[in-house]
């Protein structure tokens, strides 16, 4: 299966090199040089795209605005490229719905590894993965990347929050340590003082109306990690 990727970057040399490299690794690559051309290509091919790559700095807009525009239309995975060393830019991108980020200059092999990791996490590389996961009245749709509450309300999640919830429900009943969860959702280890995963768990509990003091869905296992305690039923598409 050839997966299709849309890349926007205002540097022609970077676009050309990236297209050549990814096509050698069996990806179909579509290119855009600015926000306008990206949106035109996105609208034309959004139903076939498996991932988009957004450069933050563009001549007519920025990657954050494009990330928001993409998220309003679909839940295709997003990687953001940033030349800024400011951690704030990366956090903003993730909060807007990006699934990962990578700093410029980057090694194409690292970008390829991130792409493959996202495809594994989102199920794009599985032959026939379950589409729906049902738990406590909630329904997680792995294809559309949406979560519906028991009352039918759409639960709004960032890309990383959705990945975390999906990994938890796929491994319901298993005690998952923080390092494994970080690797699956971020593609990297946590530092010894990094509490970002715990903050993300707390945010996810809030979105699911799961009492932080006595959670019924995502329970803390002291000294070990977290466990998704609800019963889960998976249904193929």
Per-residue pLDDT tens digits for 20-50: 999 988 899 999 999 999 999 999 998 889 9
**Predicted local distance difference test score (pLDDT) of residue 139:** 95
**Predicted local distance difference test score (pLDDT) of residue 193:** 54
DSSP one-letter string for 67-90 = HHHHHHH----EEEEE----HHHH
**Predicted local distance difference test score (pLDDT) of residue 114:** 87
**Predicted local distance difference test score (pLDDT) of residue 211:** 79
DSSP class of residue 200 equals H
Q: Tokens 């990962």 correspond to what residue? A: 100
**Predicted local distance difference test score (pLDDT) of residue 1:** 55
- Determine if the peptide bond prior to 105 is cis (ω within 30°): yes
The closest of 24, 18, 21 to 55, measured between CA atoms, is 18
Element spanning 115, H or E: helix 108-122
What is the helix, strand, coil percentage profile of the chain, to 5? Answer: 40, 25, 35
Domains and CATH numbers, the chain: 3-122 (3.40.50.2300), 130-236 (1.10.10.10)
CB 2 within 8 A of CB 26: yes
For residue 79, which phi and psi values (nearest 5 degrees)? Answer: -115, 135
**Predicted local distance difference test score (pLDDT) of residue 147:** 94
pLDDT along the chain (237 residues), means of 10: 87 91 90 95 91 93 92 88 72 80 85 85 63 92 89 87 89 85 67 69 90 86 88 82
CB 84 within 8 A of CB 62: no
Element spanning 218, H or E: strand 218-221
């Amino acid at each position: 299966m050839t997966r299709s990727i849309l890349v926007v970057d205002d540097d022609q040399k970077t676009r050309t090199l990236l297209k050549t490299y990814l096509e050698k690794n069996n990806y179909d690559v579509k290119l855009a040089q600015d926000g306008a051309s990206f949106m035109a290509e996105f609208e034309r091919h959004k139903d076939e795209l498996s991932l988009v790559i957004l450069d933050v700095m563009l001549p007519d807009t920025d990657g954050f605005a494009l990330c928001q525009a993409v998220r309003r239309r679909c839940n295709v995975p997003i990687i953001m490229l940033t030349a800024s060393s400011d951690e704030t830019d990366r956090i903003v991108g993730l909060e807007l719905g990006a699934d990962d980020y990578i700093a410029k200059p980057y090694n194409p092999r690292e970008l390829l590894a991130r792409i493959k990791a996202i495809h594994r996490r989102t199920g794009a590389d599985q032959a026939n993965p379950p589409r729906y996961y049902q738990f406590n009245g909630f329904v997680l749709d792995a294809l559309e990347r949406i979560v519906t509450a028991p009352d039918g309300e759409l639960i709004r999640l960032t890309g990383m929050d959705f990945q975390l919830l999906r990994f938890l429900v796929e491994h319901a009943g298993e005690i998952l340590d923080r390092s494994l969860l970080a690797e699956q959702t971020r593609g990297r280890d946590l530092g010894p003082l990094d509490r970002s995963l715990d903050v993300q768990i707390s945010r996810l509990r809030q979105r699911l109306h799961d009492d932080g003091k006595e959670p019924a869905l995502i329970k803390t296992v002291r000294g070990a990690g977290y466990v998704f305690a609800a019963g889960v039923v998976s249904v193929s598409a």
